[in-house]
Each structure stands twice: as structure tokens, then as C-alpha cells.
Chains A and B, each alone.
Chain A
Amino acid sequence: MHTRVQIASIVVAVVILAGVFELVRRRRLGERYALLWMGAGVVLLVLAAWQHLLYTIAHAVGIYYPPNAFFVIAFGFALLLLLHFSIATSRLADETRILAQKVALLEARLRDQQAAGATGADQLDPEISEVSVEHPADRVAAG
């Protein structure tokens, strides 16, 4: 009985590892996101293969049926990945907001300069042409 659970666990871990690696190979998944998945796959594979370690962990936290410890740890990784994605989407939202603001400000300046050109002003407002487009929040997003 335990052997069948062990085999199933090993298969799951190997499928995760192989699937993630294949996605990275096809450039469908970036390395920075793949690493957490690979880490989860490796830990699950070790726990599935090394029964003694799993039993020790299960005993230590009071889980009577050791394979349940395996699923608890797998669930923990799932939560970790979801949190990781929430952080990533927050960062992406910040980055797209900064892009939107930059695009809008550049567009407004371009319109002003075209209007200045259309009215025959051959010199652009020197103050405006010197203005840097660096977004003060760049450092925040990069950090």
C-alpha cells in the first residue's frame, strides 16, 4: 500500500520537474519563475524517494499517516507559488502604471511641440526640451 503511494508521489514529482524543464526549454516559462517550481519538484521528489525522512517529518509534526505529510508539504508549495504570483502581478501592475504615465506625459509633450511648430514657432520651449523623462518611481520598481 505504502509502495503504491510512494510510486505515485515519485511520478507526480518527476512530472512536475520534467514539465517545468520542458517549458523552460521552449522558452514558455522564465527561469526566475521556473526556479521555485523546480525547487518544489526536487523537494517533493526527495521526500517521495526517501521514506525515512518523510516518516521523521510526519512523526515530528504529529501526522499519523506519513504520505499525508507529503501532501501537506506539496500544498505548502502551492501556497508559496500563489503568493509569489501575487507579488509578481503587483510588480507588473506598478510597472505598467509607470509606463502608462510616461507614455501619456510624452504624448502630451509631443502634442505641445507640434502645436508650437504649427503656429510658426521655430524654436521649441527650451525648458520643455530639456526635461528628463526619467520617472522618479523607476528606482522603486527596479528594486
Chain B
Amino acid sequence: MNLQVQNQERLLVVVPAFNEECSVASVVASVREHTGYDVVVIDDGSRDATAERARAAGAHVVSLPYNLGIGGAVQTGFLYASEHGYDYMAQVDGDGQHDPAELIKLVAALRADPALDMAYGSRFLTDEHGYPAPLARRTGIRAFAFALRIALGRPVTDPTSGFRLCNRRAIELFARDYPHDYPEVEALMMLHACGMRFTEVPVRMHLRREGRSSITRLRSAYYMLKVSLALLAGMLRTRPEPAPTSTVHRS
């Protein structure tokens, strides 16, 4: 179970949370119970007791002074991982949607293939754990999956999944530049543009236990338009080079 000590690799689990006082403690407890990795909760300007509950559950807490949105919060996690020299960084959402027990699968995927820079959990790769997403959500996800398939030239089944594990190279890239509002789809484009490799791993996901999704019906149109524009712009933009993994500096 304790893979961390065994391989002398340090893994950080980042839990972005905005007003998740009902679920954040159980997410932190679950991560600690199943993995033993370090946990940092990025409290994205919550007005409730998210920070206190997370701290009481044994997590480090980074409290943003105001709400940055999921992109800014997760980037704070990348900055934390980069500053403290972690080898891997996993993202597990604070709403209880992701199952920390499934982290082992992501870790195993990156371990199995050293050429991979990121692995993320897809809820659509397996039939046995049917994820009952609402029809509108599934349609949107399919649309992005289709666009990404064209842009990347390879199949992507769950582009909006936030259940991700990044290696050092991807951490450095995203600490420097990470998309703002709805970052998951764009982040895949960035990896592709930087010549980094990623893979999908079948995982089980829950429906949200507490609170409401940040994507309300009113925001769905904005979400679709914003990500579409970002995809189009991303295809026509040169991204900053990822930090070199070795000490050899390419200039």
C-alpha cells in the first residue's frame, strides 16, 4: 500500500475545494486511508468552514484570498508541488466525485510507462461501473471528445475528467501556464502541443455527494463556447516549452 516509501518518490494529492465543507473532510480522510500520500487542499476562497474541516482531517491547506476558479486553484496546487519538489501530483476534486482508492491505478499507469507525463481517469472506458451522468453533460463531453479526437488525432473518451496524475515535467509546465476557467480540455491540448504524452485509465466515479456542480445550466453555454474558443486558439498557438527534465539546457 505504501508505494511512496518503497520507491523514494514523493507524491502530492491536490484537492481543490470551493465551499465543500460537507465533503472535503471525507475526501481528505479517504486519500489518507487509501494511499498515505501528502494531501494539500486548495481552499479557493470558500466562505464556509472548508479550510478548518480540511485542516482537522489532516491536510495541508492553502487558502486563496478570493475565488480564482478551478483553473487558478489547481494551478496553485501545481505551484505548491513544484516548490516542494514533488515527483508526482494528483488532482482529486473536493466534492467527493473521485474515489481516492482509484489513485493506485493512475500511479500504476505512470509507473508502467516512463514515457507518459500524465494519466487521467476516464469514467467511460468501463461498462461495469456505469457512470450515470445527465444526458446534457454526456452530450457536451462527447462533443469535446470528438473535437479533441480531430485535434489530437487519437481517441479521448473523457476529456473533462479532473481525476489526474502528472509527473514532474507536466507539473512544471502547468505551474507556469494553466488554463483558467474550465481547464481540463485545454490542458490536454497543452500537453499535446508540448509533445507530452498522456493516457486514459478506466476508473469508477461517484455522482456528487454534497453541494451542486459548479456547472449550472446557465453556465453550460458559456462553458461550451469558452472551451471551444480555447480549443480553436490552442490549435493555432505555440505553447511555452516544457521545462527540460535533465540538467541539459536547450536554448
A-B contact count (CB 8 A): 54
How far apart are the CA atoms of A9 and B68 in the complex, in Å?
Answer: 45
Listed in ascending order, the chain A residues whose CB lies under 8 Å from chain B are 97, 100-101, 103-105, 107-108, 112, 127-128, 131-133, 135-137, 140
Which of B66, B72, B83, B85 touches A105 (beta carbons < 8 Å)?
Answer: B83
In the complex, are the beta carbons of B65 and A132 less than 8 A apart?
no
In-complex Cβ contact of A136 among B42, B80, B82, B84 (8 A): B82
Most buried by B among A97, A107, A127, A135: A97
Provide the residues of chain B in CB contact with A107, threshold 8 Å: 62-63
Which residues of B are interface residues toward A (Cβ below 8 A)? Answer: 40, 42, 60-66, 68, 72, 75-76, 79-80, 82-85, 172, 175-177, 180, 240
A100-B68 contact in complex given A105-B80, A140-B177, C-beta closer than 8 Å: yes
The minimal Cβ–Cβ distance linking B85 to chain A, given in whole angstroms, is: 7
Flag if A127 contacts B175 (CB, 8 Å): no
CA of A142 to CA of B139, assembled, Å:
40
A–B complex contacts, Cβ < 8 Å, 5 sampled: A97-B180, A105-B76, A108-B60, A108-B61, A112-B60
Least Cβ distance of B243 to chain A in Å? 9
A141 CA / B65 CA spacing, docked (Å)? 20
A136-B82, A136-B175, A136-B176 are known; give 16 further A-B pairs, CB within 8 A: A100-B64, A101-B79, A104-B42, A104-B76, A107-B62, A107-B63, A108-B60, A108-B62, A127-B85, A128-B84, A131-B83, A133-B83, A135-B79, A140-B176, A140-B177, A140-B240
- Contact pick for A137, options B61, B85, B177, CB 8 Å: B177
Judged by DSSP, the binding face of A is: helix
Residues of B within 8 A of A132 (CB): 83
**Chain B residues in 8 Å Cβ range of A128:** 84
Give A103 to B84 CA distance when docked, in angstroms.
Answer: 16
Tell me which residues across on chain A come within 8 A of B79, comparing CB atoms: 101, 105, 135-136
Whether the pair B62, A104 counts as a contact (CB closer than 8 A) is yes
Are B75 and A101 in contact, CB atoms less than 8 angstroms apart?
A: yes
> With the chains together, A128 CA to B85 CA distance in Å?
10
Q: Are the C-beta atoms of A97 and B84 separated by less than 8 Å?
A: no
Which chain B positions have C-beta within 8 A of A105?
A: 62, 76, 79-80, 83
Neighbouring B residues of A127 by C-beta, 8 Å: 84-85
Q: How far is the CA of A127 from the CA of B84 in the complex (A)?
A: 8
A132 to B83, CA, bound (A): 7
- Considering the chains assembled together, what is the distance between the CA atoms of A103 and B63 in angstroms? 9
Residues B176 and A104 in contact, CB atoms below 8 Å apart: no
Give, as a whole number of angstroms, the nearest-CB distance from B132 to chain A: 35
The one of B64, B82, B85, B177 in contact with A104, judged by C-beta atoms closer than 8 angstroms, is B64
| Closest-CB distance, B16 to chain A (whole angstroms) | 12
Whose C-beta in chain A lies nearest to the C-beta of B243?
Answer: A136
Chain B positions within 8 Å of A108 at CB level: 40, 60-63, 80
